[in-house]
Structure 1
Amino acid sequence: MNVEQLSATLAAIASPQRMTILSELTSGRVHVSELARRVGMSRALLYMHLAKLEASGFVTTSLELSSEGTALKHVSLVPFHLTLNIETITQAVGAAGAGHD
């Protein structure tokens, strides 16, 4: 992971709202409307946060048809492990500088 990737990853989870969303998804896949109720935010705001989390690979979304024929969007947590320490930062900075001679 280079410094830009590390920075984008940290930015994606640097929000209390996005941390709450991730925490709520540990119980399993959930419909967007249900997730919005659980975390206490509008669907529009939730979609904004989900876009950032999905772009960084923390969640996935899928559309499914209900028995009534309407599209339902579900969100799932992507298992991840993130270690942040000085070694992680040094390696990321080193990776960014490796191509600059």
Structure 2
Amino acid sequence: MNSEELLALLSAIGHTQRLRIIAGLSDGRVHVSELARRLRLSRPLLYMHLERLEGAGLVTGKLELSSDGKAMKYFELVPFELDLTVDTVLAALRADEEEDH
């Protein structure tokens, strides 16, 4: 992981609503409308936060067709573990240096 990826990850989890979304997905995949209802968020705001989480590789979205032909978007967590230490930061900076050479 380079510093850009580390910062994207930290930025993605560094918001109360996104932490709530992670908690809301902790029991498995959820349809976006259901998740919006559970979290009492508007769908546009929820999608904005889900986009940040998806960009950081923490959630994944999948479009499925219902039996009546409607497009249904489901999201689920991607298994992750964050171990933030000085060594994590140093490794990210070393990865940057290696990419530059």
Q: Does TM, normalized by the shorter one, top 0.5?
A: yes
User: Which amino acid is the alignment partner of residue 8 of structure 1?
Assistant: A
User: Which amino acid is the alignment partner of residue 54 of structure 2?
Assistant: E
Q: Aligned with 1:27: secondary structure?
A: coil
Counterparts of 1:98 and 1:64, CA distance in 2: 40
Q: Aligned with 2:76: secondary structure?
A: strand
Counterparts of 1:46 and 1:37, CA distance in 2: 10
TM, length-normalised to structure 2: 0.91
Superposed CA deviations along residues 71-96 of structure 1, whole A, max 9, x for unmatched, are: 11111111111110111111112222
Superposed CA deviations along residues 30-50 of structure 1, whole A, max 9, x for unmatched, are: 100000011110000000111
User: 1:9-28 counterparts in 2 under 5 A?
Assistant: 9-28=9-28
Aligned-residue identity in percent: 52
Listed as ranges, the gaps of 5+ residues in structure 2 are none
In the alignment, which residue of structure 2 is the partner of 1:45? 45
Q: What RMSD over aligned residues (CA atoms) do the two structures have, in Å?
A: 1.4
Counterparts of 2:98 and 2:18, CA distance in 1: 32
In the alignment, which residue of structure 2 is the partner of 1:56? 56
